[in-house]
Amino acid sequence: MRARAVFGPDSARGHTPYPADGDFRTETPLPRRATVPVPSRLFGVGLGLLLTAHLCLLGFRQISDVDTWWHLKQGELFVTTGSLPAQDPFAFTTGGHEWIKYSWAADVLFSLVFKAFGLPGLVLLRLALFLIVSLALYRVFRGCGLHPTAAVLLLVVASMALGFRFMLRPEMLGLFLLIATVVILLRLRDSSPRAAYALLPTQIAWTNVHASFVFGLGLPGLVLLANLLPRGRFAPGWGQLRLDGLHLRHLAIAVACLPLACLVNPQGVSVLLFPFRQNRMTRLTEFIEWKPVWSLVKLDPVWWVVLIVLGLVLLAFAVTAILLAVRERRMDPVGLAIVLSMGTYAAFRNRAVASFVLTILPFLALALVRVAAGLRERAGEGASERLARIGGLACAIVLTASIAVQIASAPRGQYGLGVRRDRFPEAAMAFLERNHLDGRVFNTYMLGGYLIWRRWPSNQAFIDGRYDGILFDEALLEDYLQTYWSPSALDRITSTYAVEILVLSANPNYLLPYIGKHPEWARVYWDPDAEIFVRRGGSHAALIAKGEYSLTRSSSDLSYLVAYRRDPALRARALGELRRAVAENPENGTAWLGLAQEYWAQGPAAAAQRLDALTHVARVEAGTPVVGRVYAEQADALLQLGRLAEAKVAAQQARRLDGQQLLPYWVLALVAEGQGEWREARDRFLELQTRLDPSDERQRLVRSRLDAAERRLRGGPGTPD
C-alpha cells in the first residue's frame, strides 16, 4: 500500500522529492480498519477520555494570576475611551514615560469577554484555548507520522510545560499563534507556495497581543536559512521543511515582509523594540518568571516539574539527533537552532519554557519517527506491535497518575469558574473603599494589578506587573527592592511621592520586616492576605484612634499572643483586636485561630466561645491541611461541653485527615470512657500509649487511665489515679 505524506499528498500540489536528499518524508502506512480489534478501539477511547480529563484538570482552573487584573483594566480603558491613551493613568510613577501597549488587542478581547460573560467566560476562554492548542499539537504529531500512543506521551510532556504558563494573560494567545506558525511552516512543502504568506496575518495578530512575537520572526527565518545549507549534510525538519525553488522564493518574500508586518500596530517601532529593551533589565530576575529554571526548585518543589520536562525534552532531542547523525550522516539544522536559541533562552528565562517545548516537540516527533522506522527495519513488525502495546499501557499509567496527583494535590479553590480568593486581597480592597482611603498607595509589587482593578481611579499604585512595559527604570525598581531592608528607603519614596497609605502583602517573604515598629505608620487592617498601614499625624488620625492594630498582626505564628496573658489589660486589648479583625473580615482564618487559642487558654469556661471560633476556622480553611488540626480541637471543645457524640464524630474526622495527631485519640478514649464503653476506652488508651514516646511525661496520665479502664473491665472500681 502506498504510504501517505506527513501533511498531505506528496504529488497533489506539484511536490517533487529531492533526489540529493533522499526521501525524507516521514510516512506511515494507513491501517486497515477491519484489522483493528474492538478491544483496541475501546482502549483508544479510554485513552482519549483520560487525556481529556488530564487536559481539563490543567486548563479548567480558577483565576489565580496577578497580571490578569491589570490586563482587564487596561482593556476596559481602551474599550470605554475608544482609544489607546499616550500616558498611563493607573500608577503615579509612570508620568512622562512612554506607555508601550504591547498587548492591547488581547486586553480588549479579555475586557469584551468579561463584559459579556463575566469571570466564568474568561475561565472558559482559557480552557478552550488550552484544548485547541493541545489538539493542534496532537494533530501535528500525528501528521509527522508518530504513533498515537507516542503522540499522547509527547502531548502529556507538552501539557505539563504549558500548564505552568497558560494563565489568563495575553501569553496564552501568543502560544496559540506560536503553534499556528509551526503548523504553517510544517505544511508549507505540501501546500501552495503562496501559503507562506499566511505567516504575515499571523504575525500581525501576534505583534498586537504579546511580546513573544519575536519567535514568529525567528522560526521562518531559521527555515529559510536551513534551506540554503548544503543538502548532503543537512535536512531541515528531516526533509519536511526542505523546499523547492518556488516555495523557497515565496518563503523568502514572506520572511522579508515579517518585520514590516510587525510594524502594523498602533505604536510602530516601539513595539518591535520592546522585547529587546525588556530583556536588558537585569533586575527583572528578582521576579520568579524571569529567573533561570534551575533556581526555581529552591523556592518550591513544584518547579521540579518544569525542570524535569525541560531536561527530558533536551535529552530526548540530543539522543535522537545523535542516533540519526550516526546512521544517516546528516542533521536537522532547524531543530538544532531552536534548541541552541530558544532552549538556551528558556533555561535562563523560565517563562519561555512553554514556548520552547511547544516549538521543539514537532521536530523531536519527526526525529522519533525516523528512529522508529530504523528500529522497525531491524526488529520487524512484531516488535513494533509489542512496543505499541507497551506504549499504550505507559500512556494509561502516566495519564492516570497525573489525574490522581492533580486531584490529590489541588489547592483549595483551584478548579472552577471563579477566582482563587486566597490569592487576592479582596477584603483589604473593601476596607479601603469602606473607609474612603483614596489617593496614592505604596504597594507590594504582586498586589498592584488587583489594586488597579478594584480601586482605580480612587487609588493609584506605586508599582505593578506592567512595570517592564512602561518604566524601564531600574533605579525605581532598585529603590522598591531596598524598602524590604531599609526603612529610610521607604521614607524616601513615601515622602517624595506624598504617599499616606501602604497596602502590603501579608506573605512573610514580602511583608516589610520592620513595618510593625515603624513610628510613622499605623496598622489599621490585616488578614492572611494583606496589611494596610496609614501615616500617623495625617488625615487618617480618626481611623487610627478608632481601629489601630497595635498588638495583633497577620503572622500565622500565634505564639506572640502568649506574652499578653501576663497582663490582663493587654490581653483584653489583644482579644478586642482579634474580634474586630473577624468583624471586618469574617474570612480572616488567622484571627479566628487566634481567638480559639486564647479561649482555650481560658479553660473550660470559654469552651463554647472556642468552639464557635473553631467552627469559623473550619469553614474558612475547608480543604486546606490545617483543617485536620481544627477538627481535633473542635472535638476537644465538644468534649469539654459534654457533647460526647459530636466530639466522637469530630475526632474521627480529624484522625482521617491527619492520623499523626495525638489529640483525636485522647478525645476518642475519653468519649468511650464517658459513655461507659470500657473495652473501647482501653483499646484507645493502648493505641495512644504506643504512639507516645516512652519518655513523654504524658505516659503517666495515659497509663493511669488505661489501668482504670482495665479495672472496670474486670468488674472493679474504675476511678483513674
With bands split at pLDDT 50, 70 and 90, how would you rate the model's confidence at 579?
A: very high
| Low-confidence winner among 21-30, 96-105, 202-211, 271-280 (lowest mean pLDDT) | 21-30
pLDDT at position 2: 36
pLDDT at position 5: 36
pTM of the model: 0.84
With bands split at pLDDT 50, 70 and 90, how would you rate the model's confidence at 32?
A: very low
With bands split at pLDDT 50, 70 and 90, how would you rate the model's confidence at 343?
A: very high
Residue 116: is its pLDDT beyond 90?
yes
3-state secondary structure of 266: coil
- The distance of Cα 41 from the centroid of its chain, to the nearest Å, equals 35
Task: Report the mean per-residue pLDDT for the chain.
Answer: 86
pLDDT at position 657: 87
Number of H helices, E strands in the chain: 28, 5
Q: DSSP assignment, residue 662?
A: S
- Closest alpha carbon to 90 in 464, 392, 567: 464
- The domain spans of the chain are 44-409, 424-547
C-alpha cell at 227: 534551506
Phi, psi of 460 (to 5 degrees): -110, 140
With bands split at pLDDT 50, 70 and 90, how would you rate the model's confidence at 489?
A: very high
Cβ atoms of 154 and 369 closer than 8 Å: no
Consecutive H or E run containing 525? strand 521-526
Q: DSSP assignment, residue 38?
A: H
pLDDT, tens digit (0-9, with 9 covering 90-100), for 161-184 = 998 888 899 999 999 999 999 999
| Residue where the block lists cell 510544517 | 186
pLDDT at position 108: 96
191: left (phi over 0), alpha (psi -120 to 50) or beta: beta
Mean pLDDT computed over 136-148: 90
Mean pLDDT computed over 55-69: 90
CATH second-level architecture of 424-547?
A: 3-Layer(aba) Sandwich (3.40)
Residue 461: is its pLDDT beyond 80?
yes
Q: DSSP assignment, residue 31?
A: P
How many residues are given for the chain? Answer: 721
Cβ atoms of 53 and 407 closer than 8 Å: no
Cβ atoms of 517 and 492 closer than 8 Å: no
| Residue where the block lists cell 502495546 | 389
3-state DSSP helix/strand/coil % of the chain, to nearest 5: 65, 5, 30
Strands 439-443 and 501-505, by their bridges, are parallel
pLDDT at position 713: 83
Strands 501-505 and 530-535, by their bridges, are antiparallel
pLDDT, tens digit (0-9, with 9 covering 90-100), for 615-661 = 999 998 887 788 889 999 999 999 999 999 999 999 999 988 888 88
pLDDT at position 122: 95
How far apart (Å, rounded) are the C-alpha atoms in residues 420 and 410? Answer: 12
Residue 509: is its pLDDT beyond 90?
no
- Taking every pair of Cα atoms in the chain, the longest distance, rounded to a whole number of angstroms, is 103
Q: DSSP assignment, residue 342?
A: I
How far apart (Å, rounded) are the C-alpha atoms in residues 607 and 146? Answer: 66
Give the percent of the chain with pLDDT over 90. 53
pLDDT at position 411: 67
pLDDT, tens digit (0-9, with 9 covering 90-100), for 689-719 = 888 888 888 888 888 888 888 888 887 655 5
Cβ atoms of 533 and 549 closer than 8 Å: no
With bands split at pLDDT 50, 70 and 90, how would you rate the model's confidence at 13?
A: very low
